[in-house]
Amino acid sequence: MGGVEEAIVRAAQFFSNDAAVVCLTGAGVSAESGVPTFRDAQTGLWSRFDAEELATPQGFERDPGLVWRWYMWRLEQVGAAAPNPGHRALAELARLCEAFLLVTQNVDDLHEQAGSADVLHLHGSLFNFRCAACAAPHHLTVEERGADSPPACGLCGDLVRPDVVWFGESLPWDAVEEAAAAAHGCDVMLVVGTSGLVYPASQLPLVARQGGAMVIDVNPEPGPISSIADIFLLGKSGEVLPALARAVRELRAEL
Ligand code: APR
């Protein structure tokens, strides 16, 4: 990791016991678990379809079966994935800090599997389903998972859909408000594996910065977040985050 080691030790100093930390994660944190990002997932079998067909309300109206099959395929991919050292290090950092809010744009459950509690899912979850019309929650049966088309809502008879945020849809308002308030009041904003291109999650590091927080970005590629970050930790989250958690532990041991 070279010069990154020094930056990790510098970053670790901000994770004091009483620091309020907000961590924003994106697809990159799950990359080392083999979860295809939205864009990667559109390869192979699904390469001839675009986002309009697979992840918009209009696409679902046009061809609910196609969208259903794509989401069942993604559910299978995510179901087979396990958390990586990056997810585990974030759960550990949360245990080391009194106030730690984890906000994710990911629809997988790998943070929870790694032991993180109270994860704020800004884009919903692949594991939740609801009626497209009346929003009643729906629990999938094994048969429904293997079906070629979505089941009908037990209450109103309309179609059941994945409870994820599709393009053009609003994010869950209470989650966005909670994330924005926490970002504004935090001491440290740790950003991991997000391109910083998708609004409004991309605004959270800016909100934190305006509120006076130290912004730390972890990514193997520079991007819009690294350019506004106080500390940029260049590298994969599965390598950088365990090193960061270790450095925080070592600093605490010295006190
Ligand atoms: N560790 C850390 N970061 C990584 C790693 C890794 N091992 N591998 C890739 N990355 C970084 C990439 O450099 C990129 O900056 O993860 C980021 C992934 O970017 P996106 O695919 O745009 O993912 P994300 O920022 O989460 O996208 C936001 O857009 O596709 C929609 O709704 C979907 O939630 C998603 C949203």
Q: What's the CATH superfamily of 36-80+127-164?
A: SIR2/SIRT2 'Small Domain' (3.30.1600.10)
Is 11 buried (19+), middle (13-18) or exposed (0-12) by CB count in 10 A? buried
pLDDT tens figures, 82-105: 999 999 999 999 999 999 999 999
Give percent of the chain with pLDDT exceeding 70: 95
Between the CA of 152 and the centroid of ligand 1 the distance, in Å, is 33
Domain map (residue ranges) of the chain: 1-34+81-123+171-254, 36-80+127-164
Residue 196 predicted with pLDDT over 80: yes
pLDDT for 46: 66
CATH tag, 1-34+81-123+171-254: 3.40.50.1220
Catalytic residue among 123, 138, 139, 184: 123
Q: How confident is the model at residue 254 (pLDDT cuts 50, 70, 90)?
A: confident
pLDDT for 51: 78
Query: Is the link from the previous residue into 137 a cis peptide, with omega within 30 of 0?
Result: no
Collapsing DSSP to helix, strand or coil, 174 comes out as: helix
Residue 38 predicted with pLDDT over 90: no
Annotated binding site: 71, 74, 105-108, 131, 134, 153, 156, 193-195, 219-221, 237
Between the CA of 53 and the centroid of ligand 1 the distance, in Å, is 21
Residue 48 predicted with pLDDT over 80: no
Cβ neighbours around 17 below 10 Å, total: 10
Is 162 buried (19+), middle (13-18) or exposed (0-12) by CB count in 10 A? buried
- Residue with the smallest CA separation from ligand 1 atom 19 is 195
User: Comparing 187 with 48, which gets the higher pLDDT?
Assistant: 187
Mean pLDDT of the residues in the chain: 93
pLDDT for 141: 95
205 lines ligand 1 (CB under 6 A): no
87 is catalytic: no
pTM of the model: 0.95
- The DSSP bridge partners found for residue 34 are none
Handedness of CA 142, 143, 149, 155 (dihedral sign): negative
Tokens of 35: 């979860």
pLDDT tens figures, 112-136: 999 999 899 999 999 999 999 999 9
Sheet with 137-138, edge to edge strand ranges: 137-138, 124-131, 160-164
Within a 13 Å sphere around the CA of 149, how many CA atoms are in the beta-carbon half? 9
Are 150 and 64 in contact by the 8 Å Cβ rule? The answer is yes
pLDDT for 1: 54
Between the CA of 136 and the centroid of ligand 1 the distance, in Å, is 30
